[in-house]
């Protein structure tokens, strides 16, 4: 069945209401003229209010992780037919999206291509084959293989799930004793990548691509790198969307990002790559995902350029164009806060003083309110909320971000 000329395209979105960023991508598709259908494991009435008005239909499934069952349910779902495009902006659903495309016979990233962006070992092999420097690495499926890989590579090593998302369940291991503890913590999740620990500054290279060409790109700096931020609760992690993305010291990352996309054959959509720059200037590939950066980084990029990348992405995937005028006006830093203590938020201290000192440069504040139960900081980088600050000068931006880190405190009890 062909779509009539001028009719809206039927687009299926996996998990349209979670995580928070997907709300805005879902709305972006509707704003750009699509009829948006969603599938998720939430009840429809539990979807965020921002999402529900933009859905033409919704299918609740028992679990998005049961890929075979979901594919079968969607294939038999008449309310959304015919689906012409499948989009997923949430890491755990990337393979499912590819399986649905193959089952429904629609264009887009297939399972083999999607696997290259999910399987960290296969990803690094493909990137290394293209002549790009990657950390030394080994795949391991049991404790003995992990131990051998660590000894061959040499401590310290990084241990991460083959199909992990972000820095979740990623550990820096300095000894065999620490490795035993990590393996015990991972439990049955033993299909892991063991890789060389790179002592370096960590950056991102984020893109929106159209038919293999970059339509938009951005670079962020992590302070500190996520692996460290996940080890110490007192840290207020920062992600900084950089204004001067053409700086000389970022040249290696720019070139590497483009080379990685070419090596993996990425075509259309958002990508999020992480890379390292050592003190001697050497540039090393980290990993790449076929989805946008998480932890509200897209918001941070929007504030850096007064742009709307949610609808910009939707325009790119639906209409194969990116018409937004990009002017890099600011460095924008998102600072995540972790409350002191356990239980419910009982006090927020320092916010008024920060507004008094830096008011014009505070772009957004989203903190848990007093009375709310604090979140598990090990499970979400967003933690108990965040503040976005911005300024044309990088050092000034970093100074303001550091002030948010030290002077703004949330207390729970």
Distance CA 364, CA 403 (A): 15
- Indicate whether 68 and 178 sit together in one domain: no
- Indicate whether 155 and 175 sit together in one domain: yes
- Beta partners for residue 197, in sequence order: none
- Beta partners for residue 355, in sequence order: none
Note whether residue 131 is domain-resident. yes
Distance CA 103, CA 136 (A): 37
- Indicate whether 125 and 163 sit together in one domain: no
Note whether residue 225 is domain-resident. yes
Note whether residue 3 is domain-resident. no
Distance CA 289, CA 305 (A): 23
Instruction: Check which CATH number belongs to the domain holding 283 and give it.
Output: 3.30.470.20
Instruction: Check which CATH number belongs to the domain holding 59 and give it.
Output: 3.40.50.20
- Indicate whether 181 and 207 sit together in one domain: no
pTM of the model: 0.91
Q: To the nearest whole percent, how much of the chain has pLDDT over 90?
A: 80
Distance CA 220, CA 318 (A): 26
- Indicate whether 316 and 256 sit together in one domain: yes
pLDDT of residue 169: 73
pLDDT values of the chain reduced to their tens digit, one per residue, 413 residues:
455 555 789 999 999 999 999 999 999 999 999 999 999 999 999 999 999 999 999 999 999 999 999 999 999 998 777 999 999 999 999 999 999 999 999 999 999 999 999 988 899 999 999 999 999 988 888 888 888 899 999 999 998 876 655 555 788 888 888 888 888 877 665 688 889 999 999 999 999 999 999 999 999 999 999 988 888 999 999 999 999 999 999 999 999 999 999 999 999 999 999 999 999 999 999 999 999 999 999 999 999 999 999 999 999 999 999 999 999 999 999 999 999 999 999 999 999 999 999 999 999 999 999 999 999 998 888 999 999 999 999 999 999 999 999 999 999 99
- Indicate whether 204 and 322 sit together in one domain: yes
Q: Token match 């897209």: residue?
A: 298
Based on its alpha-carbon atoms, the radius of gyration of the chain, rounded to whole angstroms, reads: 21
Number of domains in the chain: 4
Note whether residue 2 is domain-resident. no
pLDDT of residue 1: 46
Note whether residue 375 is domain-resident. yes
pLDDT of residue 7: 72
- Indicate whether 224 and 309 sit together in one domain: yes
3-state secondary structure the chain: CCCCCCCCCEEEEECCCCCHHHHHHHHHHHHCCCEEEEEECCCHHHCCCCCHHHEEEEEECCCCCCHHHHHHHHHCCHHHCCCCEEECCCHHHHHHHHHHHHHHCCCCCCHHHHHHHHCHHHHHHHHHHCCCCCCCEEEECCHHHHHHHHHHHCCCEEEEECCCCCCCCCEEECCHHHHHHHHHHHCCCCCEEEEECCCCEEEEEEEEEECCEEEEEECEEEECCHHHHCCCCCCCCEEEECCCCCCHHHHHHHHHHHHHHHHHCCCCEEEEEEEEECCCCCEEEEEEECCCCCCCHHHHHHHHHCCCHHHHHHHHHHHCCCCCCCCCCCEEEEEECCCECCCEEEEEECHHHHHHHHHHHEEEEEECCCCCECCCCCCCCCCCEEEEEEECCHHHHHHHHHHHHHHCEEEEC
Of 168, 196, 224, the last residue of a domain is 196
Alpha carbon distances (Å) from 314 to 77, 148, 270, 289, 317 = 24, 45, 10, 18, 5
Of 279, 313, 329, the last residue of a domain is 329
Question: Minimal CA–CA distance to 78: which of 145, 22, 1?
Answer: 1
β-pair type (55-60, 35-40)? parallel
- Indicate whether 393 and 364 sit together in one domain: yes
Alpha carbon distances (Å) from 278 to 48, 56, 253, 275 = 42, 49, 11, 10
Angle, CA of 138, 143 and 144, to the nearest 5°: 75
Note whether residue 5 is domain-resident. no
- Indicate whether 126 and 260 sit together in one domain: yes
Note whether residue 192 is domain-resident. yes
Of 329, 352, 369, the last residue of a domain is 329
Neighbours of 343 (CB within 10 A): 11
- Indicate whether 106 and 126 sit together in one domain: no
Note whether residue 382 is domain-resident. yes
- Indicate whether 320 and 208 sit together in one domain: yes
- Indicate whether 365 and 303 sit together in one domain: no
Instruction: Check which CATH number belongs to the domain holding 146 and give it.
Output: 3.30.1490.20
Residue 245's domain comprises 119-135+199-329
């Amino acid at each position: 069945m062909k779509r009539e000329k001028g009719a809206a395209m039927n687009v299926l979105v996996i998990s349209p209401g979670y995580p928070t960023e997907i709300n805005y991508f879902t709305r972006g598709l509707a704003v750009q003229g699509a009829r948006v259908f969603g599938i998720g494991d939430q009840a429809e009435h539990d979807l965020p209010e921002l999402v529900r008005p933009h859905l033409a239909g919704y299918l609740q499934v028992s679990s998005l992780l049961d890929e075979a069952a979901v594919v079968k349910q969607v294939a038999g779902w008449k309310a959304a037919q015919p689906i012409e495009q499948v989009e997923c902006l949430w890491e755990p659903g990337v393979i499912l999206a590819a399986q649905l495309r193959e089952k429904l016979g629609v264009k887009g990233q297939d399972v083999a291509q999607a696997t290259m962006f999910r399987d960290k070992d296969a990803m690094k092999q493909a990137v290394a084959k293209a002549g790009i420097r990657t950390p030394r690495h080994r795949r391991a499926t049991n404790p003995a293989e992990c131990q051998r890989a660590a000894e061959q590579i040499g401590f310290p090593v990084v241990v991460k799930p083959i199909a992990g998302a972000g820095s979740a369940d990623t550990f820096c291991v300095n000894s065999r004793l620490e490795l035993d503890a990590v393996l015990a913590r991972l439990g049955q999740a033993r299909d892991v990548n063991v890789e060389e620990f790179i002592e370096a500054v960590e950056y991102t290279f984020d893109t929106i691509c159209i038919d293999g060409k970059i339509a938009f790109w951005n670079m962020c700096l992590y302070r500190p790198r996520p692996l460290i931020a996940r080890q110490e609760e007192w840290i207020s992690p920062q992600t900084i969307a950089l204004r001067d993305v053409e700086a000389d010291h970022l040249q290696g990352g720019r070139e590497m990002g483009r080379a990685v996309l070419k090596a993996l054959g990425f075509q259309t959509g958002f990508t999020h790559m992480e890379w390292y720059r050592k003190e001697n200037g050497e540039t090393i590939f980290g990993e790449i995902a076929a989805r946008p950066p998480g932890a509200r980084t897209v918001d941070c990029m929007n504030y850096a350029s007064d742009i709307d990348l949610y609808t910009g992405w939707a325009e790119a995937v639906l209409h194969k164009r990116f018409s937004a005028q990009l002017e890099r006006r600011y460095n924008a830093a998102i600072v995540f806060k972790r409350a002191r203590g356990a239980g419910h938020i009982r006090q927020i201290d320092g916010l008024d003083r920060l507004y008094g000192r830096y008011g014009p440069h505070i772009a957004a504040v989203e903190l848990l309110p007093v009375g709310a139960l604090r979140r598990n900081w090990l499970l979400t980088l967003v933690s108990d909320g965040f503040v976005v600050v911005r300024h044309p000068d990088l050092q000034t931006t970093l100074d303001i971000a550091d002030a948010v880190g030290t002077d703004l405190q949330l207390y729970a009890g």
